[in-house]
Chain A
Amino acid sequence: MTFYELTWDSPEEKELFVAELGDLLQTLEDSWLSGEPDVAAAFRAAHTIKGSAAMVGLDDWSSRAHNLEDRLDQIRKNPDDQLEESLRLDVLNFVDFIRQELNGRVNSEANAESSPQHWRITLSPACALKGARAFQILQRVGELARIVSSRPSGEDIQEFERFDGNTVDVSFEPIGDQPPVDWPEIFRSIPEVEEWEQIESMEEDPKSRGTTAAQAQQRENMIRIHPQVLEGLLDGLGELLMRHAELSHRLNETSPAVKEALDGVKQIAMNLQDMTLRARMLPLSTLFHQYPRAVHDIARKLSKDITLSVEGGETQLDRLVMDRLHEPLLHLIRNAADHGIETASERLRKGKPLAGHIFLQASSRKGRVRIVVADDGRGIDWNGLRNKAVARDVMTADQARNATSESLVAMLFLPGFSTKDQVSDLSGRGVGLDVVKDTVDQLHGDIRVESEPGRGTRFIMELPMTMAILSALLIAIGPVVLGIPVLNVERIEPWHQDDVKHTLGVDMIDDHGHPLKVTVLSQLLKIEGSDPQMVIRVQDGAVKMAFVVDTVLGQQDVVIKPLGRVMPLIPWMTGAALLGDGRVALMMDVKRLAEKVGHNDSTALPEPVAAENTRQVPGSSWLVFGVGPLYYGISVDKVQEVLLQGPVNRIVGQHPLVEGVTMIREESYPVLSGKKLMDAGDLDDGGYFIVVHMSQHRFVLSVDIVKEIVPIAWSQIQPVPHHDGLEVIMGLAEVGGMVIQLVDFDAVLSEILPNESVAGEQKDHLPSLRGVQVFLADDSRLARQKLTTALINQGAEVTAYEEGQALMTGLAQAQNLPHVVVTDVEMPKMDGYHLLEQVKAEFPGISVIVHTSLDGRLSKEHCIELGADFVLTKWDVGELVRRVGLASHQGMDNKGGRTHALIAD
Chain B
Amino acid sequence: MRVLIVDDAAFMRLRLKKLLTQDGYEVEEAGNGQEAVEKYGALHPDCVLMDITMPEMSGIDALKAIKAEDPGANVIMVSALGQQAMVIQAIQHGARDFIVKPYEPERVLASLNKVLS
Q: How far is the CA of A139 from the CA of B89 in the complex (A)?
A: 12
Is the beta-carbon distance between B55 and A161 smaller than 8 angstroms? no
Q: How far is the CA of A355 from the CA of B57 in the complex (A)?
A: 10
Contact among A161, A190, A191, A355 with B61 in the assembled complex (CB-CB below 8 Å): A355
- For residue B21, give the distance in angstroms from its CB to the closest CB of chain A: 22
Q: How far is the CA of A111 from the CA of B79 in the complex (A)?
A: 41
B80-117, CB < 8 A from A: 81, 83-85, 87-88, 91-92, 97-98, 100, 107, 110-111, 114, 117
Contact among B79, B84, B110 with A131 in the assembled complex (CB-CB below 8 Å): B84
- Name the residue on B nearest A135 (C-beta): B88
Is the beta-carbon distance between B114 and A129 smaller than 8 angstroms? no
Q: Known contacts being A191-B111, A353-B61, is A161 close to B85, with CB within 8 Å?
A: yes
Is the beta-carbon distance between A128 and B81 smaller than 8 angstroms? yes
Contact among B56, B100, B117 with A128 in the assembled complex (CB-CB below 8 Å): B100
For the complex, is A348 an interface residue (Cβ under 8 Å from B)?
Answer: yes
Is the beta-carbon distance between A348 and B56 smaller than 8 angstroms? yes
Residues of A within 8 A of B57 (CB): 354
Q: Known contacts being A348-B56, A353-B61, is A132 close to B91, with CB within 8 Å?
A: yes
Residues of B within 8 A of A161 (CB): 84-85, 88
For the complex, is A629 an interface residue (Cβ under 8 Å from B)?
Answer: no
Is the beta-carbon distance between B81 and A351 smaller than 8 angstroms? no
Residues of A within 8 A of B84 (CB): 129, 131-132, 160-161
For the complex, is A864 an interface residue (Cβ under 8 Å from B)?
Answer: no
Residues of B within 8 A of A135 (CB): 87-88, 91-92
For the complex, is A136 an interface residue (Cβ under 8 Å from B)?
Answer: yes
Q: How far is the CA of A508 from the CA of B102 in the complex (A)?
A: 64
Residues of A within 8 A of B88 (CB): 131-132, 135, 157, 160-161
Q: Known contacts being A191-B111, A191-B114, is A351 close to B55, with CB within 8 Å?
A: yes
- For residue A132, give the distance in angstroms from its CB to the closest CB of chain B: 4
Q: How far is the CA of A128 from the CA of B100 in the complex (A)?
A: 7
Q: How far is the CA of A157 from the CA of B100 in the complex (A)?
A: 20
Q: How far is the CA of A189 from the CA of B57 in the complex (A)?
A: 30
Is the beta-carbon distance between B114 and A189 smaller than 8 angstroms? yes
Scan A142-181; emit 1 where CB is below 8 A from any B CB, else 0: 0000000000000001001100000000000000000000
Is the beta-carbon distance between A129 and B87 smaller than 8 angstroms? yes
A387-413, CB < 8 A from B: none
Interface centre among B61, B87, B92, B111 (most CB of A within 10 A): B87
Residues of B within 8 A of A189 (CB): 114, 117
- For residue B75, give the distance in angstroms from its CB to the closest CB of chain A: 13
Interface centre among B83, B91, B110 (most CB of A within 10 A): B91
Q: How far is the CA of A189 from the CA of B116 in the complex (A)?
A: 11
Is the beta-carbon distance between A191 and B110 smaller than 8 angstroms? yes
Is the beta-carbon distance between B91 and A190 smaller than 8 angstroms? no
Residues of A within 8 A of B56 (CB): 348, 351
Number of cross-chain contacts by CB at 8 Å: 50
- For residue A137, give the distance in angstroms from its CB to the closest CB of chain B: 10
Contact among B58, B61, B87, B117 with A132 in the assembled complex (CB-CB below 8 Å): B87
Q: How far is the CA of A190 from the CA of B114 in the complex (A)?
A: 7
- For residue B8, give the distance in angstroms from its CB to the closest CB of chain A: 12
Is the beta-carbon distance between A354 and B61 smaller than 8 angstroms? yes
B48-87, CB < 8 A from A: 55-58, 61, 79, 81, 83-85, 87
Q: How far is the CA of A235 from the CA of B98 in the complex (A)?
A: 57
Is the beta-carbon distance between A129 and B98 smaller than 8 angstroms? yes
Q: How far is the CA of A139 from the CA of B97 in the complex (A)?
A: 11
Q: How large is the interface on A (under 10, 10 to 19, 20 to 34, 35 or more residues)?
A: 10 to 19
Residues of B within 8 A of A128 (CB): 81, 100
Q: How far is the CA of A351 from the CA of B58 in the complex (A)?
A: 10
Q: Known contacts being A351-B56, A354-B61, is A132 close to B114, with CB within 8 Å?
A: no
Residues of A within 8 A of B110 (CB): 191
- Name the residue on A nearest B110 (C-beta): A191
Is the beta-carbon distance between B97 and A191 smaller than 8 angstroms? yes
A99-148, CB < 8 A from B: 128-129, 131-132, 135-136, 139
Q: How far is the CA of A136 from the CA of B87 in the complex (A)?
A: 9
Residues of A within 8 A of B85 (CB): 157, 161
Is the beta-carbon distance between B91 and A191 smaller than 8 angstroms? no
Residues of B within 8 A of A129 (CB): 79, 81, 83-84, 87, 98, 100
Interface centre among A129, A131, A136 (most CB of B within 10 A): A129
Residues of B within 8 A of A353 (CB): 58, 61
Q: Known contacts being A128-B81, A157-B88, A348-B56, is A136 close to B100, with CB within 8 Å?
A: no
Residues of B within 8 A of A139 (CB): 91-92
- For residue A83, give the distance in angstroms from its CB to the closest CB of chain B: 49
Q: How far is the CA of A190 from the CA of B98 in the complex (A)?
A: 10
- For residue B67, give the distance in angstroms from its CB to the closest CB of chain A: 14
Residues of B within 8 A of A191 (CB): 97, 107, 110-111, 114
- For residue A355, give the distance in angstroms from its CB to the closest CB of chain B: 7
- For residue A339, give the distance in angstroms from its CB to the closest CB of chain B: 24
Q: Known contacts being A128-B81, A129-B81, A161-B84, is A136 close to B91, with CB within 8 Å?
A: yes
Q: How far is the CA of A817 from the CA of B98 in the complex (A)?
A: 61
- Name the residue on A nearest B60 (C-beta): A353
Residues of A within 8 A of B98 (CB): 129, 132, 136
Residues of B within 8 A of A351 (CB): 55-56
Interface centre among A132, A135, A139, A189 (most CB of B within 10 A): A132
Q: How far is the CA of A354 from the CA of B88 in the complex (A)?
A: 19
Q: How far is the CA of A70 from the CA of B79 in the complex (A)?
A: 51
- Name the residue on B nearest A191 (C-beta): B111
Residues of B within 8 A of A348 (CB): 56
Q: How far is the CA of A191 from the CA of B117 in the complex (A)?
A: 13
- For residue A72, give the distance in angstroms from its CB to the closest CB of chain B: 39
Is the beta-carbon distance between A136 and B61 smaller than 8 angstroms? no
Q: How far is the CA of A161 from the CA of B56 in the complex (A)?
A: 25
Q: How far is the CA of A317 from the CA of B97 in the complex (A)?
A: 39
- For residue B103, give the distance in angstroms from its CB to the closest CB of chain A: 9
A264-313, CB < 8 A from B: none
Q: How far is the CA of A815 from the CA of B92 in the complex (A)?
A: 68
Residues of A within 8 A of B100 (CB): 128-129
Residues of B within 8 A of A160 (CB): 84, 88
Q: How far is the CA of A136 from the CA of B58 in the complex (A)?
A: 20
Q: How far is the CA of A190 from the CA of B115 in the complex (A)?
A: 9
Residues of A within 8 A of B87 (CB): 129, 132, 135
Residues of B within 8 A of A132 (CB): 84, 87-88, 91, 98
Residues of B within 8 A of A355 (CB): 61
Residues of A within 8 A of B81 (CB): 128-129
- For residue A493, give the distance in angstroms from its CB to the closest CB of chain B: 43
- For residue B79, give the distance in angstroms from its CB to the closest CB of chain A: 7
Q: Jot down 6 A-B pairs with beta carbons below 8 A, ordered by A.
A: A129-B98, A161-B84, A191-B114, A353-B61, A354-B57, A355-B61
- 7 smallest CB-CB distances across A and B, nearest first, come from A132-B87, A128-B100, A129-B84, A161-B85, A135-B88, A131-B84, A136-B91
Binding site for A on B (CB under 8 A): 55-58, 61, 79, 81, 83-85, 87-88, 91-92, 97-98, 100, 107, 110-111, 114, 117
Q: Known A-B contacts: A132-B87, A161-B84, A191-B97. Give 17 more (CB < 8 A).
A: A128-B81, A131-B88, A132-B84, A132-B98, A135-B88, A135-B91, A136-B98, A157-B85, A157-B88, A161-B85, A161-B88, A189-B117, A191-B107, A348-B56, A353-B58, A354-B57, A355-B61
